[in-house]
Chains A and B, each alone.
Chain A
Amino acid sequence: EVQLVESGGGLVQPGGSLRLSCAASGFTVSSNYMSWVRQAPGKGLEWVSVIYSGGSTYYADSVKGRFTISRDNSKNTLYLQMNSLRAEDTAVYYCARYSGYDNGWYYYYYMDVWGKGTTVTVSS
């Protein structure tokens, strides 16, 4: 069964760090584009970061320079290292798999597999 399971959330003080994990089963993380998406309490979905199958990484402006997406191919696991956390980073964090393709000009991707999410609370 294709599945994603997040872990690592919790309560952290402002300025602190946290590392989220997303364990995949049923497919290979390194063969897919993978993303982190977050949802603040009562708010909509916000794209956070992506890692391409080739290893390139991209970030939303709101987390650039503070968050790092990575993967461990041997563990088939995606990570999100979050540093310098702020109150506004409080959210449920979901990992998601992209399916689809692109031709370098047009992008035909969609997020077809989602985890259940892990909650991050930044508060003193």
Chain B
Amino acid sequence: QSVLTQPPSVSAAPGQKVTISCSGSSSNIGNNYVSWYQQLPGTAPKLLIYDNNKRPSGIPDRFSGSKSGTSATLGITGLQTGDEADYYCGTWDSSLSVNWVFGGGTKLTVL
């Protein structure tokens, strides 16, 4: 059971928009910045969004992030087949037992 809760899967047609939620608590999302990671099949994770809503160089503006309270959301517009991947949210956790937590991951299927 992951500390951060994500839906196991989402799907949408090419060109459409999808959102992926990430729910946590005051010790993690509520007081720290959220980042999102894209993991294409058979590859290492890649940073997609950091500081809740910033995109690293090279990440298209089709990808966006937001945070409200103890939840965060990743949005992807203009879906492409190449966006099919697993997406993970992550953040620092200020509790004593762990330093970093990930969501369980969401598999995006572009129909």
Interface residues of A (CB under 8 A from B): 35, 37, 44-47, 50, 58, 60-61, 94, 96, 99-100, 102, 105-112, 114-117
B63 at the interface (CB under 8 A from A): no
CB of B33 within 8 A of CB of A108, answer yes
**How many interface residues does B have (CB within 8 Å)?**
30
State in angstroms the CA–CA spacing of A107 and B29 once bound together: 10
Chain A residues closer than 8 Å to B2, beta-carbon distance: 44
Whether A50 pairs with B32 at a CB distance below 8 angstroms is no
Interchain CA distance A15-B51 in the complex, whole Å: 40
Given contacts A50-B99, A110-B50, contact A45 B33 (CB under 8 A): no
- Contact indicator per residue, chain B 67-90, by CB within 8 Å of chain A (1) or not (0): 000000000000000000010101
The answer to whether A106 and B45 have CB atoms under 8 Å apart is no
Whether A45 contacts B102 in the complex (CB less than 8 A), given A108-B33, A109-B33, A110-B35, comes out as: yes
Given known A-B contacts A109-B92, A115-B44, A44 and B105 have beta carbons under 8 A apart: yes
Which residues of the partner chain A approach B47 to less than 8 Å between Cβ atoms? Answer: 110-112, 114
16 contacts between A and B (CB under 8 A): A44-B105, A47-B101, A58-B98, A60-B98, A61-B97, A61-B98, A94-B44, A100-B50, A102-B92, A105-B31, A108-B32, A109-B92, A111-B45, A111-B47, A114-B45, A115-B44
Residues of chain B having any CB pair with chain A under 8 Å: 2, 31-33, 35, 37, 39, 43-47, 50-51, 56, 86, 88, 90-92, 94, 97-105
Q: Could you tell me the distance in whole angstroms from the C-beta of B56 to the nearest C-beta in chain A?
A: 7
